[in-house]
Amino acid sequence: MNYLEAIGKYFIMVWEVFKKPTKWPIMRSLILKEIDELIFGSLGIIIFIAFFIGGVVTIQTALNLTSPFLPKSLIGFAARQSVILEFAPTFTSIIMAGKVGSYITSSIGTMRVTEQIDALEVMGVNSLNYLVFPKIIAMLMYPFAVAIAMYVGILGGWIAAVFGGYAPSGEFIKGLQMDFESFHVTYAFIKTLIFAFVIATVPSYHGFFMKGGALEVGKASTTSFVWTSVVIIILNYILTQLMLG
């Protein structure tokens, strides 16, 4: 029953976010601040992980292609499919759930503990719109980060294949071009936008409705990461079944 109550409170919170908007000059500065902190502040870790994930996928694929009858271009094909379909959108989203989600929960939770949210509401400000809406809009830039992760992941795969001696550059690039479907990129970006909304709202929910003191802020951050990851994985399964099944 508690889970049903929490789900209901979450959807009510999302509805309240879009009511009684904050004045645009204030909202614009909030959105730009959130884009800088949530997206550009995360590019470093996204690029680092995407590069090595692409390399690892390439090496593992190459080591499993033991038959001499299988072309080396399959290494590039497997790296492209893995990075575009799963590793860039989904794996990056799990990372963002930890980094960005924990930040969102702890910042809003700290405001709840220090009664800053109560002060906003006393002044007649829609605290949910003021705190959560800029994060939702900022996360619309998230596909930009995932596009970079796709490029860097494939680049990491190419470097691992060529300099590791697993496949010639020409064969790897041939595999990248083999049976390419542009819808796969569209599918990845659709998933990314949905995951972005989850990353912005689920941690906000745990921060906004937390109770207690400073200790509970840390617990709320951990809980928000767990539930954000669970929702992302479930949605990933549903979207894959609907769009590729």
Rounded Cα–Cα distance for residues 241 and 127 (Å): 37
Chain-centroid distance, C-alpha 202: 12
Per-residue pLDDT, 189: 94
Rounded Cα–Cα distance for residues 185 and 243 (Å): 12
Place of tokens 């990372």: 95
Place of tokens 């209901």: 8
Per-residue pLDDT, 130: 93
Q: Which residues contact 52 (CB under 8 A, 6 or more apart)?
A: 156
Chain-centroid distance, C-alpha 175: 27
Token reading at 7: 């789900």
State the pTM of this model: 0.91
Per-residue pLDDT, 39: 92
- In tens digits, the chain (245 residues) has pLDDT values of 588 888 999 999 999 999 888 888 889 999 999 999 999 989 999 999 999 999 999 999 988 887 777 788 899 999 999 999 988 999 899 999 999 999 999 999 999 988 899 898 888 889 999 999 999 999 999 999 999 999 999 999 999 999 988 888 999 999 898 888 889 999 999 999 999 999 999 999 999 998 887 788 889 999 999 999 999 999 999 999 998 87
